[in-house]
Structures are given as structure tokens and as C-alpha cells.
Amino acid sequence: MKKTIIKPTILPGFMELLPKEQRIFNDIVNKVTKVYEDNGCLPIDTPIIEKSEVLLAKTAGETEKQVYSFNKGSKNLSLRFDLTVPFSRYTAQYFNELTFPFKRYQIGKVYRGERNQKGRYREFYQFDVDIIGKDKLSISNDALVISLASKAFKSIGLTNYKFQISNRKILSGLLEYLKVDSAANEVMILIDKFDKIGEEIFKEELDKILDKEKSDLISKVINISGSKEEVIKSLELLNIKNDKFNLGIKELKNVSKTLELLGVQENEFLVNLKIIRGLDYYTGTVFETLLVNNEGYGSICSGGRYDNLAENYTNNILPGVGISIGLTRLFFVLKEIGFVDNYQLPSKIEYLIIPVSEINSYIYEVYNKLISLGKTVEIYFEEDKLKKKMNYANKFSIPNTIIIGEEEEINRTINLKDMNTGLQRILKLDDMNI
């Protein structure tokens, strides 16, 4: 009977890496994790599958259409589409056992049945940090989470990013002041699309919604540019009598100043009043992160402040601020811009022992000796040609090989080769102290 071979493939929209790239991906995860942990963030992990009625409590429209849902037994289940909803459920569920402010980080896969296009994934990692207060949360945390993103990027050697920061209160205060009322949502959606549609179409569309006077003022405000001091100064000079608007300026000023005090450099961020982050839950600080000269890839890290995280699950008031890195997408972008190719990651293995006669106890004696000296060692067990064995060391950039044959065993020596210089040395095992 002829065997049936099934073609080994994965679904479109799913990322899978070769070991070499996977090591780099994991190294990025480890470095970012270290930043979060060194700043007091605690890990949590939540199920990928949740009850649909819990997970989709708030969701409607576009998001819900993209969710992977299915029945199992009598239950309708869904795969999480972000880490924020499960986190809000978690915080409400274990409220009494958590210490606030609660700083949590979480990395995990999420699922969205998006249309398949380059750089868009259906299964992708998110890497989130949120700080949640009980009833209140200092504005300093808004700057802190952005400073963590800054440290995270620096820790992996990424430099050409720029945080684009705004505060939702400024625009919603302005719309309140202009009595835009029922058209407010429509205007916000339009501003959110500004970068996609361009200034001209934006203004045309805005003129259709509002009087010219109001439309002109809004256009003027969101296009204010310059250094962050200049932008803030310009906003203040508008002299708009609206509490929310002025609170927004005050918060933006505070975040901006605190960022510098936290060591985020002048050139790492700017104020961009067009940043909205959709209509959902953000209520204060909002930010995105663009790669300078590669803005077309979109934001690699976004987030903001929300007044009440878990309102679907609890009556407790839980204000918070968070950041989210779309890690799978970021890795895709880092590959595109050549960052992954240039990523230096040395071999974990320092020594490859290559037996050239039968494997015997002397081989293991050398192996154990090296391990006792704190070295990382592999033994090449297979009976292959020497060239193939050496090639294994080359493939994985193992810097040293140790050839052991009968002669070495009899003399209790090792034949050590530095793979970078090609230099070979014969060492006595018993005096060995590499």
C-alpha cells in the first residue's frame, strides 16, 4: 500500500519562524520582559478560550465579526482578540486578592479573522503593560508606561522610533466648546482617519459635517505643530473656555514633563493632536509609536488612559493606563527594515565535542569537566564524516570544537580548536581550566 503524504502547510495569516529567527524573537521577548519586571510589573496569563458571553460583553460591529467563535458541548466559546478584555475580566474576578496599583504585563497570542494581507496576522502576539488603580491613578503613570516602552525599545537596540502623544480631553473638550454635540463621533472618526485620507480630503469631509468656522478651528488645532512646548503654548493661546480642554492641556504638559524626568529624550517623542486611537475606551492620554522614515508600517506600540477598565464585570471603579506592542507585527516590520538580519545573537553553546572514534566514557569525562567549569557543551553523537561534524559547529557559530579520538583518550588530552582563528591546541584534561 502506498503511503499518503499530506502536504505540510500552515494557514495563511499565521507566522512561523525558522529556529534562527525564533531565537531573535525570543531574545526580544526576554529583553522587554526584563524591562517590565525590573519596573515592578507582575506577570499574568489568561486562557486563550473564554466564554463568548464574557469575552464579547462589550464588543460590537467590526471586532465581533473578526472573532473566532465556535460551540463545544452546550457552550459558545471564543478565542481572545486582545489581552485587554481578558485582563479587565481578570482584575474584576480576583479584585480582592490583588494589590493596587496593580502593574501587570502579559504576553500572549490573540486571534482576529482579518482579511489576509501582508503584515496583517490572524494569530499574533500582543505584549501589554497596564497599571490599574483602585478609584484613582496618578497621571505620572501615563508617562511611566511610555517610558517603559522607551526602555523596552532601547533594550533591543531599536532607536529610530518616535512616540506621538496626545490627550483625548483636548479634542473632546474642543468639540464640547464648539457645541458639535451629535456630530462629535463623526468628527472624531474623521480625525482618526486623517493620516490615511490626507489633509485635503479631510477638510472637505469636515466642511460637510460642520460650519466653516468650527471646521476651520478644528483643522487649525489638530495641525498645530512644532516642539512640544510650542504645541502646548499654541493650545493655551487659543484661550478656549472649556474645562475639559484645559484639563487635557494640563495633563499633556504633565506627561510631557514627566517623560523627560523619567529619562525619555526630547527626540523620542512629540505631541501629535491627530492621535485618537479609535472611539473606544480611551479618555485621556493616547499615543502611538512610529518608526522614523518607516511611518508607513503604522504604529508599533500604542496605548493610553481609560477611566474605568472593567465596568462590564464589576461596580468597582478601575482607572488605568496601558501600552500594547503588537509583537508579531513588530517582528514582521523589523524583518522588512533589515533590523532582524543585523541582530547579533551569539551561540548559547561554547564547545562542541566531536568524537572521531567510538563514543566512550572519556568523552563524557571531558563533557562533565567542561560543565563543572560552567561551560555550555554539546556532544556530536552521530557517526558522520569529520567535515559534516565541523559544519554543525559552523552552522550554529559554536566558537570552539574539541576533537577526541583514541590518541586523546590514551594521553588524556583534548584537541581544542578556536573556530574563529582556526588555532588548534592540545590541552591536558587534568590541568584544563579554560
- Known binding-site residues for L-histidine equal 82-84, 112, 126, 130, 277, 281-282
* Contact status, residue 369 vs residue 432, Cβ threshold 8 Å: yes
| Residue 313 CB, nearest approach to its own copies (Å) | 4
Nearer CB in complex with its own copies: 6/423: 6
Give least dist CB 324 to its own copies, A: 19
Contacts of 226 by beta carbon, 8 Å cutoff, 6+ apart: 234
In 3D space, the residue among 374, 372, 364, 376 whose CA is nearest the CA of residue 414 turns out to be 364
Which amino acid, residue 206?
L
What are the cell numbers at 86?
Answer: 481578558
Provide the grid cell at 134. Answer: 483602585
Q: Which is nearer to its own copies, 53 or 211 (CB)?
A: 53
The C-alpha angle with vertex 212 and arms to 210 and 218, in degrees rounded to 5, equals 70
Q: Which is nearer to its own copies, 205 or 311 (CB)?
A: 311
Nearer to its own copies, 75 or 220 (CB): 75
Q: Which CB sits closer to its own copies, 137 or 333?
A: 137
If residue 62 lies in a helix (H) or strand (E), which one and from where to where? Answer: helix 62-66
Bridge partner list, 109: 125
Nearest to 270 by CA among 430, 187, 118, 163: 163
Q: In whole angstroms, how close is the CB of 355 to its own copies at the nearest point?
A: 10
Residue 160: strand, helix, or coil: coil
Upper half-sphere CA count for residue 256 (Cβ side, 13 Å): 23
* Minimum distance from residue 184 beta carbon to its own copies (Å): 20
Q: How far is the CB of 261 from its own copies (least distance, A)?
A: 4
